[in-house]
Structure 1
């Protein structure tokens, strides 16, 4: 999501008060924690809105803020490889790669930018209604978030909306769904302004696990905008990269059931 607003935060947290905490989840929902395996350097100037990892390990980062939004690639160690700026009028949001195509959302412009995944050059645009927050791809669909409890299923080629479904935790809608990552039959979504990540059944919208990422050090400069935002599965592993807006660090993590391990 874009810049922090008190109205959004308060309404989101009020509705999430009973369900965003791992302790509040029902008995059928796993309670997991993000365990740091490695800390890696990141870019503290990046207002991170989207994070993606290619099969060869290349990391894609989409950033926000009008006049500052860009898309760039980097190595896990921090070497920047390629970068393109967005139109200064656009506020960049989530990104996802589908083979040789990369889609990038904008926050309030209703515009999805289609790019060549290798060169990052723009190859087309599509329109959508409402705000764009997060995006991920699975099978023959793109999953799209707009900050509500609903996720949209979009056509990966045309970006036409197919349907919407509501994400629920113990029967209650989960607002503030932001950055997304699709892994098999699961969708991972961070909840805006919190350190919780929801693992969602992509078929039903039911939350199957609440992941507590509060143990990740947030070393960004004090600012209500500088929250956890960035989830990327590392292909071929059960590990993820997590980072945040203007975070100087990125973390390679595993999601663990600490109670089961005892």
Structure 2
């Protein structure tokens, strides 16, 4: 059995408990931004992307699925895997973040997070409260999502939750918050099973804008076996935003374009 077919079998079982991969019907929310594709890069189409970070010219990626979860460093332009480690088959890898030269990786339901140096050498772990979904850093603390509308603020010294923030757009709670990226003082969040990214004010949880990535899958090299949009990374020096998805054959650099008001 080839690797792709094996992943498909694992994915079918996963979807039975985790939900369909189709894009859900989405409420009418006026986007603040559309996008323009600046560059398209190769991406491992066997990677069930759960976390993505661009740091010091290296692309770090955390992948999921039981028996397939990994942490890897890849070369942006070629998609080549420079270095990777596999998680034990009992763990479903989730979001990743880098803070103070240290890399953190969540797991979905095992109640544990892993800590590494930047060469992917394990250096510790911590106890997770609830499910782990997305992770990012505001340069002083870690920020975690758990699939609900709540974001948790984690002190990296104690690895304890020190605060929580409820994410809302007007009176509506925004749940299914997934992968996170901290960009210029705001949190960018994939919303699971949608083509939207919420732009969130960290202190209040208020959604200040939406990014509509509808149609980006049409620019993939192929759509065979792809799953949902997931994965946001930011090159803070060059001001580049990257997005990809689970089992996508490409990773995109995008430019945000203000949405038309008419």
Normalising to structure 1: TM-score of the pair? 0.87
Instruction: Give the unaligned 5+ runs of structure 2.
Output: 1-10
Deviation, structure 1 residue 87: 1.3
Cα-Cα RMSD: 2.2
* Aligned residue in 2 for 1:192: 192
- 1:14-29 map, 5 Å: 17-18=26-27, 21-23=28-30
1: distance between equivalents of 2:15 and 2:234? 26
CA distance 1:210–1:9, change in 2 (3 Å): farther
Deviation, structure 1 residue 62: 0.3
* Aligned residue in 2 for 1:73: 73
CA distance 1:5–1:171, change in 2 (3 Å): farther
Quick check: 1:138–1:184 contact (8 Å CA) kept in 2? no
Deviation, structure 1 residue 183: 1.6
Deviation, structure 1 residue 79: 2.2
2: distance between equivalents of 1:22 and 1:142? 28
CA distance 1:7–1:138, change in 2 (3 Å): closer
Deviation, structure 1 residue 216: 1.0
- 1:16-95 map, 5 Å: 17-18=26-27, 21-23=28-30, 31-55=32-56, 57-77=57-77, 78-95=79-96
2: distance between equivalents of 1:214 and 1:192? 14
Deviation, structure 1 residue 7: 7.5
Instruction: Give the unaligned 5+ runs of structure 1.
Output: 24-29
CA distance 1:111–1:7, change in 2 (3 Å): closer
1: distance between equivalents of 2:107 and 2:255? 30
Deviation, structure 1 residue 254: 1.2
CA distance 1:206–1:9, change in 2 (3 Å): farther
1: distance between equivalents of 2:206 and 2:150? 12
* Aligned residue in 2 for 1:203: 203
User: How many pairs are equivalent?
Assistant: 245
1: distance between equivalents of 2:170 and 2:183? 22
Deviation, structure 1 residue 144: 0.3
Normalising to structure 2: TM-score of the pair? 0.87
SS in 2 for 1:112: strand
2: distance between equivalents of 1:87 and 1:45? 18
